[in-house]
Amino acid sequence: MESLHWILGFLLLATRLPLDSAKRFYDVLGNERHRGYMREHNQLHGWSSDENDWDEKLYPVWKRGDARWKSSWKGGQVQAILTSNSPALVGSDITFAVNLAFPRCQKEDANGNIVYEKNCRNGQYFQKLGRCSVRISMNTANLTLGPQVMEVTVYRRHGWAYIPIAQVRDVYVVTDHIPVFVTMSQKNDRNVSDETFLRDLPIIFDALIHDPSHFLNESSIYFKWNFGDNTGLFVSSNHTLNHTYVLNGTFNLNLTVQGSVPGPCPSPSTLPKPIPSSVTIFKTSYYPNTPVPAGDNPLELSKIADENCQINRYGYFKATLTIVDHTGPKFDIDLLVSLLRQENARDICVIKVPPEMRYTDYFVIGSGTSTRHLHAMAYYIVKMYKYLKCKSEPHVRIEGKDTDDWLCVDFGNMVIHLMLPESRETYELEKLWTLRSYDDQLSQIPPETLPEDFILGIEEEDTSLLTPVEFKCE
């Protein structure tokens, strides 16, 4: 073993094809190089130069594919696996590792000696004739639980003999648990893989059982759900269930699946004792078809095998869910104005309503070019509101559906008036909402008689100088 590892140390220099006349290290471990090749590598600390002579009598050199490789190790061929932690930044350290894979049943002990495993048992084989594709099935009733290895060797016929052309192996697992996986989906959830969902919206849980051989087709399957939010346990024969989380936070989902499958009959000594007649037994056939809270309900999962030697198998699934508020775009004043601009609304005016009025937060006014344009804008923003709204947000109200020049949409915290330009000029809603507080203040001022000279220089018929100030929102 010492000499073997010593050779491996030089293999780390480079992987190169050996030449027929091997005299130096670089001839054995180096690739073919053209004449005039100059090495530009500096001397590595602790490494010897590959200009040193190679002792071919002590360490024979075989070409790749030489038949002697097959008989070089008792029990089969040894494979060397080289790995490294590259890429490495210049100036940093890089580490290489060589691992030897020994033939079957051979391993290295604590002292570095190659020994045979004590519990290495012989396997079994099955032969089948096929073409480019072949399939085989076997029953797993008598197989050992845990991971197992399946090996396949492919031969081609050559005259009266067979020549191996390919070999492959794969690991499969035999388990006593029902393989189950749960998919979760929710409306407006754009990333279902992060297990983060929205509050107050139902989540669809779908339990998928991996049963490619249809072994459980005749079995009664029951699903026991615990959503981790103190809503109790739910038992159902349906693999799909809806649940709504009403609080934010992190919750642990636990699912237990039970199915009755054929199993070995218990010996008479292990049969359960007779149960007194006063005790009521609830069989699995009495489980409801719809989800019902289980809790302390006596409808619990039975573990007693029936006379047909059925045994219960269980499957388990766990997941951690995060419940948050609406994480997508919110329907606020900024989004509303953006939607109006997108629909080519004109002269958009946004008025922040004083909180003491308790009517709404924002009053929005916009103009349209036609009746059709007004209705198109109104129904588009209502559609977007319904798509983005949470369950707790109010429903939208629309006024003026039968009119030709005006529409009002009430979102609760925002009220928008869509009008034709001539109607907007008539009603002057901008003045109504922006000058109202000033009008109230003026009404509280006690009337006073103004002196006659206050309007000196203004003739009675010349009223053009007294035009009111216009308020316009862009």
In this structure, is the dihedral angle defined by the CA atoms of residues 376, 381, 382 and 388, taken in order, positive or negative? positive
Measured CA to CA, the distance from residue 51 to residue 136 in angstroms comes to 57
Tokens of 458: 């203004």
pLDDT for res 121: 65
Residue corresponding to tokens 């199993």 = 263
Measured CA to CA, the distance from residue 160 to residue 430 in angstroms comes to 100
Measured between its terminal Cα atoms, the distance across the chain in Å is: 87
CB-based contact 19:31 (threshold 8 Å): no
Q: What is the DSSP letter of 177?
A: B
β-strands 146-158, 161-174: how paired?
antiparallel
pLDDT for res 256: 96
**Burial category of 455 from C-beta neighbours within 10 Å (exposed 0-12, middle 13-18, buried 19 and up):** exposed
Measured CA to CA, the distance from residue 57 to residue 46 in angstroms comes to 26
Measured CA to CA, the distance from residue 69 to residue 66 in angstroms comes to 6
Q: What is the pLDDT along the chain (474 residues), one digit of tens a residue?
A: 333 433 333 333 333 334 445 467 666 555 444 444 444 445 555 566 767 776 666 566 667 677 776 766 777 776 777 775 545 444 545 566 777 777 778 777 777 777 777 777 666 655 555 545 566 777 777 777 778 767 665 555 667 656 555 656 677 888 888 889 999 998 866 666 778 888 888 999 999 988 888 888 888 899 999 999 999 999 999 999 999 999 989 999 999 999 888 776 766 655 555 544 333 332 333 333 344 444 443 333 434 434 467 888 899 999 999 988 765 667 888 889 999 999 999 999 999 888 877 788 899 999 999 999 999 999 999 998 888 776 667 788 899 988 999 999 999 889 999 999 999 988 888 877 765 544 455 455 555 554 444 343 444 444 444 333 333 344
Neighbours of 38 (CB within 10 A): 5
pLDDT for res 77: 72
Entry field: residues in the chain: 474
Is residue 318 helix, strand or coil? Answer: strand
Query: In 203-348, which residue ranges form alpha helices assigned H by DSSP?
Result: 333-342
Task: Tell me the residue ranges of DSSP E strands in 135-216.
Answer: 146-158, 161-174, 180-186, 196-198, 202-209
Measured CA to CA, the distance from residue 247 to residue 325 in angstroms comes to 9
Which CATH architecture does the domain made up of 180-268+279-324 adopt? Sandwich (2.60)
Cα 295 to Cα 232, 235, 239, 300, 409: the distances in Å are 6, 10, 19, 9, 47
φ, ψ of residue 34 to 5 degrees: the values are: -75, 165
Tokens of 40: 């530009």
Rg (CA), the chain: 42
Measured CA to CA, the distance from residue 363 to residue 146 in angstroms comes to 68
Measured CA to CA, the distance from residue 43 to residue 21 in angstroms comes to 25
Long-range contacts at 432-436 (CB < 8 A, ≥ 24 apart): 433/351, 433/353, 433/363, 434/351, 434/471, 435/471
Cα 289 to Cα 53, 257, 303: the distances in Å are 83, 15, 20
Is residue 105 helix, strand or coil? Answer: coil
Neighbours of 375 (CB within 10 A): 18
Cα 338 to Cα 328, 342, 376, 411, 474: the distances in Å are 16, 6, 15, 16, 14
Residue corresponding to tokens 């629909």 = 343
Cα 395 to Cα 184, 391, 411, 467: the distances in Å are 28, 9, 7, 43
pLDDT for res 431: 78
Measured CA to CA, the distance from residue 93 to residue 87 in angstroms comes to 10
Do 180-268+279-324 and 333-444 show the same overall fold? no
> What's the 3-state SS for 248-288?
CEEEEEEEEEEEEEECCCCCHHHCCCCCCCCCCCCCHHHCC
pLDDT for res 28: 56
The domains of the chain are located at 180-268+279-324, 333-444
Measured CA to CA, the distance from residue 385 to residue 407 in angstroms comes to 16
Q: In the beta sheet, which residues pair with residue 322?
A: 196, 250
pLDDT for res 56: 66
pLDDT for res 140: 74
Is residue 162 helix, strand or coil? Answer: strand
> Domain 333-444 belongs to what topology?
Beta Polymerase; domain 2 (3.30.460)
